[in-house]
Amino acid sequence: MLKPTAQRPMALSKLIDALHYHIYEPLVLLSSDKRALAGLIILVVYILMAIIGPMLIPLDLTPHPEKRYLPPSWEHPLGTDFAGRDIFAQIVHGGKDVLPVAFLAGFVTVLIGTAVGIISGYIGGKLDTVITTFIDVFLTIPGFPLLLIVAVWLARSGIVINIFIIALLLSITSWAGLARSIRAQVLSLKEEAFIEAAKCLGLSKRHIVFSEIMPNLMSYIAINFMLSSVGAVYSYTGLLALGLIPYTPGNWGAMIHMAQAYVGTVTGAGCWYILAPSLTIVILQIGLVFLANGIDKIFNPRLRER
Amino acid sequence: MRWIVKRALVAVLTIYIVITITFFLIRLMPGSFIEQMIYYYMNTYGYSREEAEMEVYALYNVMPREPVWKQYIEYMLGLLRGDWGKCYSTGAPVLSSLLYFLPWTVFLLSISMTISFVIGIGLGILMAYKRGSKLDSIASTFASISQATPNFILGLLLLYLFAYYYPIFPKRGSYSVMVTPGFTLEFIGSVLYHSFLPMMAYVITSIGGWMLGMRGSAIRVLGEDYVMAAEARGLKSGRIARTYVGRNAILPLFTSFAISLGYMFGGSVFIETYFAYTGIGSTIGLALSWRDYPLIQGGFLLITSAVVFSVFIADILYGVLDPRIRVGGAYA
């Protein structure tokens, strides 16, 4: 919705205000914590790598048997794999496979968890009893073993496995914990004076949920988005490392799977082939955890260092 | 009492749902092992479809022609009788194959989890007391890294580093083939020696969660009035840390500890496979690569039952330890 021409500068200044308030100030807050800043930088580098990297670095998968298991050099910054292909290029191309799955799974987890938690906590009553029972059941079902079974089934079922299916699959096993804590938060928020006030003012339920309760949960949701992404990277690369779901070349988990499958990896000759994807995954995970813990510290003053 | 009954119902419901999910996922899988076997007999021996089915029924006790609900009920009744089916790959009963490997996994995980929990809790309290110090900052960084590292990657790196590059520890197996199993010093030594690296992989990757959890929980307790009152009464700080802070701060971690004790019966598919450790995890790993569905199903059921059971026990203990919970409220 464009405002009248005379008022456009006003809209612009509003935009700048919004940018200042929503982007700049949180960044300043965040950079007060070194670890959180490091996490943010790691994350940005990975995202850039996944978006721009494949355009700059071509992925050449033709085997060069004479060049197998080369140590790092200028030509091959991370060495070569069992077929003489550049590991660095594979890592870069793997990013556009792993990151979308991780963030999509994080997003779906947060979406389901928040929706279920708010519905259960805000509406209450019989529905709440049913939902909490359901949450309890899902909390106790061991997530990763269930994933293994569903993955085996998926691979056989003939369903085309794309990133959306995988993301959905990964979030099925992880939403329950978030739903439980969101519900608990909503229950305590419901008793707060400002919610009472909003009710007395006759504001709609939609307004109360989205404009009064949701903003108070935002930091919590952001942290859980990141921690769910960490879980998703673990499960996704894990499933691939076990070779249970089909993969695209360069996927980090798949590289670990291949590294193990080929003799020579663990004997030392191909150590770069195992180190490179492992460290790539670990550094991404560390970045996400640092950022999540940093956000937690900023919004949860009790954990703040004095 | 009503509360315990409710928890018990949830526990039973969970196991029922898990059985149902795995049954329908695995039994109804297109191109399942049973289908393959039927085609195998039809093609190799020229059997008719019925003959092949009878052959498969005799071997694997699965009746493909029966309606699904009948298979389902029969499977349920079988589980209750302790008949968890037979492994496709070896023909041995699923339950006894799993129980055969169980002690190894329980041994490995009970020790690593206890070490991880005890040290993690201790460091967590220390971090809470010294929050803002250099020590806290270093420990928090370490804890975050520990939380972030997938155990299968650490296992792989440890294996590479300390078994191949510097061959200090054995590469594979749960004990040396040179010693005969028995209650001898030599055998126990060999078992401990072989389990060191897998244990390290578990401990290092799980300790961070306990440290951070305990730190947060202890900081919350440190702000409570009763701690201040204890300090005002001039109690020794060691006593305050143990009886006032420690005990109350551990409570919220209790449920997650119970859940991880339940996982003790599942092991890790990755770590046990990488170290060729003969436990439940590597058995499930092999079952996955052989597509041995009854074994996969049985393993999953075993893990779930263990987790459900330990969560149930933890819930009851929690109620005993913290009377606020029993009244209901947010937790019920």
The set of long-range contacts for A192-199, using a CB threshold of 8 Å and a minimum separation of 24, is: none
Q: CA of B45, closest CA in chain A: separation in Å?
A: 26
What distance in Å separates the CA atoms of residue B282 and residue B300, rounded to the nearest whole number? 13
Q: Where among B83, B115, B144 does a domain terminate?
A: B83
The one-letter code for the residue type at A233 is V
Contacts of A275 in chain B (CB under 8 A): 157, 160
Q: Which of B153, B176, B146 is nearest to B276 (CA)?
A: B176
**Is B157 among the domain residues?**
yes
- Judge if B35 and B148 occupy the same domain: no
Whether pLDDT at A300 is above 70: no
- 8 Å CB contact between A252 and A277: yes
Q: How many beta-carbon contacts under 8 Å exist across A and B? A: 142
What distance in Å separates the CA atoms of residue A190 and residue A215, rounded to the nearest whole number? 13
- Judge if B77 and B99 occupy the same domain: no
Q: Which of A31, A21, A42 is nearest to A282 (CA)?
A: A42
Q: CA of A243, closest CA in chain B: separation in Å?
A: 9
The one-letter code for the residue type at B24 is F
The pLDDT of residue B331 is 43
The pLDDT of residue A129 is 84
Helix (H) or strand (E) holding A107: helix A87-123
Q: CA of B183, closest CA in chain A: separation in Å?
A: 33
pLDDT digits (tens, 9 = 90+) for A141-158: 888 888 888 887 777 766
Contacts of A305 in chain B (CB under 8 A): 131-132, 136-137
- Judge if B151 and B265 occupy the same domain: yes
- Judge if B63 and B210 occupy the same domain: no
**Is B2 among the domain residues?**
no
Whether pLDDT at A100 is above 80: yes
- Cβ of A140 within 8 Å of Cβ of B11? The answer is yes
* B62 burial level (CB within 10 Å; 0-12, 13-18, 19+): buried
What residue in B sits closest to A287 (Cα-Cα)?
Answer: B148
Q: Which of A25, A35, A105, A46 is nearest to A293 (CA)?
A: A35
- Judge if B233 and B287 occupy the same domain: yes
CA count, 13 A, side-chain hemisphere, B141? 13
Whether pLDDT at B325 is above 60: no
- Return the axis-axis angle of helices A87-123 and A163-172, rounded to nearest 10°: 50
What residue in A sits closest to B294 (Cα-Cα)?
Answer: A149
pLDDT digits (tens, 9 = 90+) for B74-99: 778 888 887 777 777 777 788 888 88
What distance in Å separates the CA atoms of residue B171 and residue B194, rounded to the nearest whole number? 8
Collapsed DSSP state (helix, strand, coil) of residue A26: helix
The set of long-range contacts for A259-266, using a CB threshold of 8 Å and a minimum separation of 24, is: A259/A81, A259/A82, A260/B156, A260/B274, A262/A82, A264/A69, A264/A82, A265/A82, A266/B159, A266/B160, A266/B164
- Cβ of A148 within 8 Å of Cβ of B284? The answer is yes
The one-letter code for the residue type at A200 is C
- Judge if B219 and B281 occupy the same domain: yes
- Judge if B74 and B159 occupy the same domain: no
- Judge if B258 and B317 occupy the same domain: yes
Question: Which residue from B31, B212, B270 is facing A238, i.e. has the nearest CB?
Answer: B270
Reading phi first (left if > 0) and then psi (alpha if -120 to 50, else beta), residue B31 is in left
**Is B88 among the domain residues?**
no
**Is B9 among the domain residues?**
no
Length of chain B (residues):
332
- 8 Å CB contact between A221 and A194: no
What distance in Å separates the CA atoms of residue B309 and residue A218, rounded to the nearest whole number? 35
- Judge if B256 and B125 occupy the same domain: yes
- 8 Å CB contact between A217 and A114: yes
- Cβ of A145 within 8 Å of Cβ of B132? The answer is no
Contacts of B220 in chain A (CB under 8 A): 302
Reading phi first (left if > 0) and then psi (alpha if -120 to 50, else beta), residue B30 is in beta
- Judge if B76 and B219 occupy the same domain: no
- Cβ of A286 within 8 Å of Cβ of B212? The answer is no
What residue in A sits closest to B331 (Cα-Cα)?
Answer: A184
Among A131, A134, A141, A245, pick the best mutation site for testing chain B contact (most B Cβ within 10 A): A141
Most confident of A233-247, B119-133, B255-269: B119-133
The pLDDT of residue A306 is 42
Torsion sign over Cα B299, B301, B306, B310: positive
- Judge if B41 and B182 occupy the same domain: no
What distance in Å separates the CA atoms of residue B190 and residue B176, rounded to the nearest whole number? 6
Question: Which residue from A230, A274, A302 is facing B160, i.e. has the nearest CB?
Answer: A274
The one-letter code for the residue type at A267 is T
The pLDDT of residue B314 is 80
Contacts of B29 in chain A (CB under 8 A): 153, 156-157
Contacts of A256 in chain B (CB under 8 A): 152-153, 156
Mean pLDDT value across residues A258-263 = 69
What the block records as the tokens of B148 is 């972030």
Whether pLDDT at B65 is above 70: no
What distance in Å separates the CA atoms of residue A98 and residue A235, rounded to the nearest whole number? 11
Length of chain A (residues):
306
Each domain of chain A, given as residue ranges in start order, spans 89-299
B125, B134, B230 from B244: Cα distances, Å: 12, 25, 8
pLDDT digits (tens, 9 = 90+) for A275-293: 888 888 889 988 988 888 8
Whether pLDDT at B60 is above 50: yes
The pLDDT of residue B120 is 92
pLDDT tier, B326 (very low <50, low <70, confident <90, very high otherwise): low
pLDDT tier, B330 (very low <50, low <70, confident <90, very high otherwise): very low
- 8 Å CB contact between A221 and A114: yes
| Structural domain of B187 | 95-328
- Cβ of A230 within 8 Å of Cβ of B148? The answer is yes
Question: Which residue from A137, A260, A286 is facing B14, i.e. has the nearest CB?
Answer: A137
Report the alpha-carbon angle A160-A162-A167, nearest 5.
125
The pLDDT of residue B275 is 81
Question: Which residue from B26, B284, B304 is facing A141, i.e. has the nearest CB?
Answer: B304
How many domains does chain B contain in total? 2
Mean pLDDT value across residues B63-78 = 75
| Bridge partners, A86 (sequence order) | A80
Enumerate helices (H) and strands (E) in chain A, giving the number of each.
Answer: 14, 0
**Is B21 among the domain residues?**
no
The one-letter code for the residue type at B166 is Y
Contacts of A260 in chain B (CB under 8 A): 156, 274
Q: CA of A25, closest CA in chain B: separation in Å?
A: 23
pLDDT tier, B119 (very low <50, low <70, confident <90, very high otherwise): very high
Lowest-confidence pick of A195-204, B3-12, B180-189: B180-189
- Cβ of A286 within 8 Å of Cβ of B149? The answer is yes
For the whole model, what pTM was predicted?
A: 0.82
Among A33, A122, A140, A144, pick the best mutation site for testing chain B contact (most B Cβ within 10 A): A140
- Return the axis-axis angle of helices A214-241 and A163-172, rounded to nearest 10°: 110
What residue in A sits closest to B214 (Cα-Cα)?
Answer: A303
pLDDT digits (tens, 9 = 90+) for A145-191: 888 888 877 777 667 777 888 888 888 888 888 888 888 888 888 77
| Bridge partners, B86 (sequence order) | B93
- 8 Å CB contact between B223 and A304: no
Contacts of A272 in chain B (CB under 8 A): none
**Is B301 among the domain residues?**
yes
φ, ψ dihedrals at B225, nearest 5°: -65, -40
Contacts of B289 in chain A (CB under 8 A): 243
Among B29, B133, B160, B303, pick the best mutation site for testing chain A contact (most A Cβ within 10 A): B160
**ipTM given for this complex:** 0.79
Contacts of B301 in chain A (CB under 8 A): none
Give the CATH number of domain A89-299; options: 3.30.540.10, 1.10.3720.10, 3.40.50.720, 3.40.250.10.
Answer: 1.10.3720.10
In this structure, the number of other CB atoms found within 10 A of the CB of residue A203 comes to 14
- Judge if B40 and B110 occupy the same domain: no
**Is B1 among the domain residues?**
no
- 8 Å CB contact between A110 and A178: yes
CATH number at residue B145: 1.10.3720.10
The pLDDT of residue A2 is 47
**Is B5 among the domain residues?**
no
- Cβ of A136 within 8 Å of Cβ of B165? The answer is no
Collapsed DSSP state (helix, strand, coil) of residue B301: helix
Mean pLDDT value across residues A195-217 = 79
